[in-house]
Amino acid sequence: MHKKFYPKISKQLSAVVANEDGVQLNVLAVDTNGAEVCIQCDMRQRNVMTPGGSYVRGGRPVEWSISLELPDEDGRISPVAARCHISYSRRISSDLCKIGMRYVDMGRSDYNRLVRFIEKTLASNDGFAF
């Protein structure tokens, strides 16, 4: 998958993640760019998806799928799907954590929609983060 560099945007998006065992959870995507996404969840959700917070299984990064709810050109919300490797898990408070995921497989049309969403968000200066 060819990836162009895009700055991270901080915009909250509804998302559904599924682990390798098929367990699905509704989460909040808080940062994304053309290469990765960061979700926020509570510690109970993290432990269901990655027991004990371990994001390496058998010496390899744990793989999840994600479905991000993005607005299209007509303002309708529809999903963009990708497979991801977990790159980090960080506790941000006593009950919340952030999990970083690097996209490893995404359909061309979904990737193009994601790029258009990022460009539109950056153009409006809404959600730009350094």
* Alpha helix segments (H runs only) across the chain: 43-49, 108-123
d(CA 129, CA 75): 23
Q: Is the pLDDT of residue 38 over 80?
A: yes
> Rounded to the nearest 10 degrees, how much is the dihedral formed by the CA atoms of 55, 106, 96, 26?
-120
d(CA 31, CA 12): 7
> Quick one: pLDDT band at residue 101, thresholds 50, 70, 90?
very high
Per-residue pLDDT tens for 48-94? 888 777 777 888 888 999 999 998 778 889 999 999 999 888 999 99
Instruction: Tell me the sheet residues that pair with 81.
Output: 67
Domain ranges of the chain: 13-123
Residue that wins the pLDDT comparison between 126 and 121:
121
Of 73, 74, 72, 99, the residue nearest 87 (C-alpha): 99
**Residue whose structure tokens are 């996209």:** 103
CA distances from 1 to 34, 86, 117 (A): 10, 18, 18
> Quick one: pLDDT band at residue 106, thresholds 50, 70, 90?
very high
Q: What is the pTM of this model?
A: 0.84
Q: Are 92 and 99 in contact (CB under 8 A)?
A: no
The listed CATH number (1.20.120.1200, 2.40.10.220, 1.10.1200.10, 2.40.110.10) that belongs to domain 13-123: 2.40.10.220
